[in-house]
Amino acid sequence: MARTLKTLVQPNRPDAAALRALAATADPSIPPAVMPTGTEMINVRLSSGLVDELDAAADAEGTTRKVIITRALATAGFHVPAHDLEDRRPKKRRRGIAA
């Protein structure tokens, strides 16, 4: 027996006028989302001692391993976009770690 496919059209999708009305009520103090383009994930196997040093440096600064590593890459002369040099963890999570 053939199965019916799900429709791609959402029946409760708002129209353009409804979206404009919603946008008019948006809080302007909230910054726009950062949508980096062309990102990729890399995995690196490092010695435990080096990872411990990275963790200690990140904990001391209240940041992440990624920030420590990307800052070092920038210092070494690599072009590192500004958003890669920022700690972008949710504030609630950052508070929980620092406390």
**Which residue in the block uniquely carries the two structure tokens 């429709």?**
7
Tell me the mean pLDDT in the region 78-94.
Answer: 84
- Summarize pLDDT for 1-43 with one digit per residue, the tens: 677 777 666 667 778 888 888 888 888 888 777 766 788 889 9
Phi, psi of 64 (to 5 degrees): -120, 165
- Summarize pLDDT for 36-69 with one digit per residue, the tens: 678 888 999 999 999 999 999 999 999 999 999 9
> Residue 20 is which amino acid?
R
Give residues with Cβ within 8 angstroms of 83, minimum separation 6.
34, 36
Q: What's residue 88's pLDDT?
A: 85
Q: What is the pTM of this model?
A: 0.57
